[in-house]
Amino acid sequence: MNHSILPQRAPLLSTPGWSAFFAALLGVCALVPVLHLMTPADSVFHLSEYMVALVGKIMCYAIVALAMDLIWGYTGILSLGHGLYFALGGYAMGMYLMRQIGRDGNYKSDLPDFMVFLDWKTLPWHWTLSESFIATLFLIVAVPGLVAFVFGYFAFRSRIKGVYFSIITQAMTFAAMLLFFRNETGFGGNNGFTDFKRILGLPIATQGMRMTLFVMTGCTLLLFFLLSRWLVASKFGRVLQAIRDAETRVMFSGYKPLPYKLTIWVISAVMCGVAGALYVPQVGIINPSEMSTSASIEMAVWAAVGGRATLIGPILGAFIVNGAKSWLTVTAPEYWLYFLGALFIVVTLFLPDGIVGLWKRLTGRKSGSPAREAAEQSAAREKGQLPTTPDAPATGGAA
Amino acid sequence: MRKLLAQFLLFLPLAWSAGAHALTAEAARAMATGDTDERIAALNQAPADAATAAFVQAMSDDAVKITADRVIVVKDDKGFDAATGAEVPIPEDAEDIVNNNRMRGAFEGTLASLKLMSPDRAERVAAIDALREETDESRLPIVEKALAGETDESLKTRLQAIRARIQLSSSDATQRAAAAAELGHSASPATRTLLIEQLRQEDDANAKAAMRQALAAVEGRLVWGERLAALFSGISLGSILLLVALGLAITYGLMGVINMAHGELMMIGAYATYVVQGLFQKYLPGAFDWYLVAAVPAAFLASALVGAALERGVIRFLYGRPLETLLATWGISLMLQQLVRSLFGAQNVGVENPAWMSGGMQLMENLQLPWNRVIIVGFAFAVLGGMAWLIGRTRLGLFVRGVTQNRPIASCMGVNTARIDTYAFALGSGIAGLAGCALSQIGNVGPDLGQGYIVDAFMVVVLGGVGQLAGTVYAALGLGVLNKLLEGWTGAVLAKIAVLVFIIVFIQKRPQGIFAMKGRSAEA
């Protein structure tokens, strides 16, 4: 047993954790391609094109859920604006894909179709870099990262947090959505970008390209998972969790929360941007609805359903919620909103630690983090704007 | 030559007005055939009598056919000779006349000028309205004639304005200058446009000076109307924001519940209004104009009941966990939307304004205050007053304030805090319902109604300072006016974006809104 004051650094993954990780890697890189490409179409093991596309899409969402978990689950900052970063990455990729269409569009012009339609003669300035793939890769990371840095710097410096922060992130996404809906912004208005034909000069709608994108998405998800795991287990990650549980106490201990919060905020935004960039070529469309208020709130639900502050939970949550969505919107479209709404309510009321928490409770293992619940309550009361519940201790304030 | 023609035209109707059917076959044919310019010339020369009016009306209704020897007006599948009015058979080879848009415009103008002489005052007013934008000089004689015969002073003034508009493009420079001087008394935006246009092509120095002077006078009169119109639309928008945010000021501001279903509670109020309207249409059609009076309490009660049920069922388990209430109430909002879709359909439903809410107050030529907007401004302030009274003066208000300030002590004093929570939440929800009732009078009522306002509502409450009623009022009116001022030079969407960015920046500077809560706390 360890008797020092500082706890030992946790291993990156436990032995079963590593086994599961390699199983997932094998599944993404070998099993799915083999089941899709090698089996005959009528076999029970055959994975249809639709299923591959669906799983690929959901893996992008899983990356977003992971990013939400880093910022919400581990740092206690609920962002209702991550749809913006997702869309920014997607639009950066979309611009490149639009340029790759070349003269094969409906109007046989060098300019993207929607610009010809609007009777524009030259590309707007912000399309300059979109011709090069390398520059696009840079933009996918840089644009969401920069927007997140600027917004986060000012918001965290003014120590905006809790609900205020959530609401202004919502306002930011809403404003951006209104902007992207406009034709003169140069992002295709409400139709966005679609009708992609090539990527890196190769046709985009072939089986091989689809598999490549799928494997890339899966590997990115797994890499981000490892990165997140490493982040939260590090000292940096422990400071984040301390900020989540009692920010004031962290400050009084001599830490400055700003750089910590800002770093994780930017990392989270960049992950969303990458997810968006992987999403666009697989789904074949990007439009401003990705920035809508509801899209961003749904992202929080993926994380909440799976279980916050567990990393694996949000990934599961993304798969469960989006799987249910794909199934329900086909079989019973009118019930989808009832289901999603009920999910929001049930998870917040009965499953504060999500499915992973439920699993742990059922299997009798230690529950996620009861400390977090108490901390959230006391933090809310400290601000003096929330009623103190009779069942909570009146001395719960951290300061 | 032109003047001669004008004088000739002036006497033409007088000469022919004796005969019952002064419209000749030749005139009818000239009006119905040939190229557009010739036909318009014929129209302008036609006698000003009832037969011509009927014939022009028939042409504009596409009910005229031509054969080799006569022009036939078709009415109820029977043919009538245009000149004699006698019934005639319609030959197989009769051709329809073809009217382009310019021709149709000419018909309208002619019909209007023919009606200028009508003995019925309402018809004359309609004709003057139709001729308001007219600048064609060939109408001048008819206008002059109408002016000579007009006895009503107000109509006379309006006819003079029309005459001046026409004369402004006259070939005679002195007449143009005189017309400009006359137009200087006007205060309509159309006159300003006309003057600017004429000024651009004017080369006579005298007329130019007169037009400049007139333009300056008109603009001087318009500028105040425009300023007041912008101010009023700002206040109108602000009062809507106020209504939308007032309920939230209780549920979020006082109770700390992030109620994302606030928009859907407004939607319920709007649908309650729709239902009451339907009941009145069915059972009390005579009193339909007063359905709104019954809809106001109905909207309040419907939303308040739903709110109370939500508080009892979901929200009371989540006090003190603001982010959780945000998610749970968002879930509720999705379910309420779908519920409304299942009950009323996904399409917008129609809610009508009662008669006393349509129309408006015409304060200046370019300043009209629509009644529904005026009434909503009044309604918003009435709701504000009622709420201030309820919170500040009643026993319930005292309890609500006590519970939100210090729950344990209030509880010790014997206040049933759980019940007060329910009442307070129901009150906030009911006010959302009132907002929905008001919104149903100015916009679409559909399942998405609430979604459009939820971001605005939160912005107002956050900007005003959570827990501060006065702040909510200032923030709502301030944002409304700011939005409308920006709209003047950036357009609606960019103004909205600018306002959102402004709020984000403002919150950075003053994280607690315009009016911060007083008192000490370690957290910012």
Across the range B254-264, mean pLDDT stands at: 86
Q: Which two tokens stand for residue A46?
A: 């055959």
Q: How many Å separate Cα A291 from the centre of its chain?
A: 12
Comparing alpha-carbon positions, the chain A residue that sits nearest to B323 is A163
Closest CA to B74 of B52, B96, B48, B93: B96
At B349, give phi and psi (nearest 5°). Answer: -105, 160
Report CA-CA distances (Å) from A12 to A232, A317, A364.
Answer: 9, 22, 24
Report whether A293 contacts A173 (CB < 8 A).
yes
Instruction: Answer with the residue of higher pLDDT: A396 or B496.
Output: B496
Q: Which of B321, B467, B524 sits opposite A159 (nearest CB)?
A: B524
Q: Measured between beta carbons, which residues in chain A are less than 8 angstroms from residue B522?
A: 248, 382, 397, 399
Q: How many CB pairs under 8 A join A and B?
A: 172
A252: CB partners within 8 A, 6+ apart: none
CA dihedral defined by B108, B113, B115, B119, rounded to 10 degrees?
170
**pLDDT score, position A316:** 93
Mark out the alpha helices in B138-204 (DSSP H runs). Answer: 140-149, 153-167, 173-183, 189-201
Instruction: Answer with the residue of higher pLDDT: A78 or B211.
Output: A78
Per-residue confidence at B316, pLDDT binned at 50, 70, 90? confident
B193: CB partners within 8 A, 6+ apart: none
Closest CA to B294 of B437, B443, B440, B449: B437
**pLDDT score, position B123:** 77
The string of DSSP letters for B328-365 reads HHHHHHHHHHHHHHHHH-SSPBP-PPPGGGSSEEEEET
Comparing alpha-carbon positions, the chain A residue that sits nearest to B334 is A341
- What is the Cα–Cα distance from B469 to B383, expressed in whole angstroms? 12
Q: Measured between beta carbons, which residues in chain B are less than 8 angstroms from residue A382?
A: 521-523
ipTM of the predicted assembly exceeds 0.95: no
In this complex, is the C-beta atom of A300 within 8 Å of any C-beta atom belonging to chain B?
A: yes
Across the range B471-486, mean pLDDT stands at: 89
Q: Which two tokens stand for residue B171?
A: 């070939």
pLDDT digits (tens, 9 = 90+) for B161-212: 777 777 777 777 777 777 777 777 776 777 777 778 777 777 777 777 888 8
Q: Which two tokens stand for residue B425?
A: 């939440």
Cβ–Cβ below 8 Å for A340 and B323: no
In this complex, is the C-beta atom of A266 within 8 Å of any C-beta atom belonging to chain B?
A: no
- Would you say residue B343 has pLDDT above 50? yes
Cβ–Cβ below 8 Å for B322 and A162: yes
Q: Which two tokens stand for residue B30?
A: 């000239």
In this complex, is the C-beta atom of A185 within 8 Å of any C-beta atom belonging to chain B?
A: no
Mark out the alpha helices in A27-72 (DSSP H runs). Answer: 32-37, 49-68
pLDDT digits (tens, 9 = 90+) for B18-66: 344 567 777 788 888 877 778 877 877 777 677 777 788 888 888 888 8
Across the range A11-32, mean pLDDT stands at: 84
pTM reported for the whole predicted model: 0.75
- What is the Cα–Cα distance from A344 to B134, expressed in whole angstroms? 62
Q: Measured between beta carbons, which residues in chain A are less than 8 angstroms from residue B317?
A: 349
Q: Which of B256, B406, B408 sits opposite A385 (nearest CB)?
A: B256
Q: Is B367 helix (H, G, I), strand (E, B) or coil?
A: strand
- What is the Cα–Cα distance from A228 to A69, expressed in whole angstroms? 9
In this complex, is the C-beta atom of A332 within 8 Å of any C-beta atom belonging to chain B?
A: no
Report CA-CA distances (Å) from B385 to A315, B171, B438.
Answer: 50, 62, 16
Q: Locate the DSSP E strands across B303-447.
A: 360-364, 367-370
- What is the Cα–Cα distance from A124 to A106, expressed in whole angstroms? 20
For chain A, percent of residues with pLDDT exceeding 70: 89
- What is the Cα–Cα distance from A378 to A376, expressed in whole angstroms? 6
- Count of positions (residues) in chain A: 399
- What is the Cα–Cα distance from A33 to A215, expressed in whole angstroms? 8
Furthest-apart CA atoms within chain B: distance in Å: 103
Cβ–Cβ below 8 Å for B521 and A171: no
- What is the Cα–Cα distance from B352 to A187, expressed in whole angstroms? 38
- Would you say residue A265 has pLDDT above 90? yes
- What is the Cα–Cα distance from B112 to B116, expressed in whole angstroms? 6
Cβ–Cβ below 8 Å for B331 and A352: no
The distance of B327 to chain A (nearest Cα, Å) reads 6
- Distance spanning both ends of chain A, measured CA to CA: 33
Per-residue confidence at A262, pLDDT binned at 50, 70, 90? very high
A184: CB partners within 8 A, 6+ apart: none
Across the range A229-252, mean pLDDT stands at: 92
- What is the Cα–Cα distance from B77 to B60, expressed in whole angstroms? 17
Q: How many Å separate Cα B240 from the centre of its chain?
A: 15
Report CA-CA distances (Å) from B70 to A77, A389, B21, B28, B524.
Answer: 85, 93, 15, 9, 90
**pLDDT score, position B8:** 47
Residue where the block lists tokens 């200087």: B184
The distance of B396 to chain A (nearest Cα, Å) reads 17
- What is the Cα–Cα distance from B312 to B332, expressed in whole angstroms? 13
Mean pLDDT, chain B, whole residue set: 81
At A227, give phi and psi (nearest 5°). Answer: -60, -45
Q: Is B373 helix (H, G, I), strand (E, B) or coil?
A: helix
Residue B366 has, within 13 A of its CA and on its CB side, a CA count of 20
**pLDDT score, position B270:** 94
Q: How many Å separate Cα A399 from the centre of its chain?
A: 33
Cβ–Cβ below 8 Å for B454 and A293: yes
- What is the Cα–Cα distance from B360 to B363, expressed in whole angstroms? 9
pLDDT digits (tens, 9 = 90+) for B141-167: 777 777 777 777 777 777 777 777 777
Cβ–Cβ below 8 Å for B323 and A163: yes
Per-residue confidence at B251, pLDDT binned at 50, 70, 90? confident
Q: What is the CA radius of gyration of chain B?
A: 32
Cβ–Cβ below 8 Å for A389 and B320: yes
Instruction: Answer with the residue of higher pLDDT: B69 or A325.
Output: A325
In this complex, is the C-beta atom of A116 within 8 Å of any C-beta atom belonging to chain B?
A: no
Q: Which of B317, B321, B521 sits opposite A383 (nearest CB)?
A: B521
Comparing alpha-carbon positions, the chain A residue that sits nearest to B520 is A384
Cβ–Cβ below 8 Å for A293 and B320: no
Q: Locate the DSSP E strands across chain A.
A: 193-194, 198-199, 202-203, 285-286
- What is the Cα–Cα distance from B47 to B226, expressed in whole angstroms? 43
- What is the Cα–Cα distance from A294 to B264, expressed in whole angstroms? 14
What is the side-by-side strand order in the sheet with B95-96? B87-88, B78-81, B71-75, B64-66, B95-96
CA dihedral defined by A226, A228, A233, A238, rounded to 10 degrees?
180
CB atoms within 10 A of CB B415: 17
- What is the Cα–Cα distance from A145 to A80, expressed in whole angstroms? 16
Q: Is A202 helix (H, G, I), strand (E, B) or coil?
A: strand
Q: Flag the least confident range among A187-191, A360-364, B185-189, B277-281.
A: B185-189
The string of DSSP letters for A64-122 reads HHHHHIIIIITT----S-HHHHHHHHHHHHHHHHHHHTTT-STT--SS-HHHHHTT--S
**pLDDT score, position A67:** 95
Report whether A282 contacts A60 (CB < 8 A).
yes
In this complex, is the C-beta atom of A201 within 8 Å of any C-beta atom belonging to chain B?
A: no
CB atoms within 10 A of CB B312: 15
- What is the Cα–Cα distance from A172 to B458, expressed in whole angstroms? 13
Report whether B210 contacts B181 (CB < 8 A).
yes
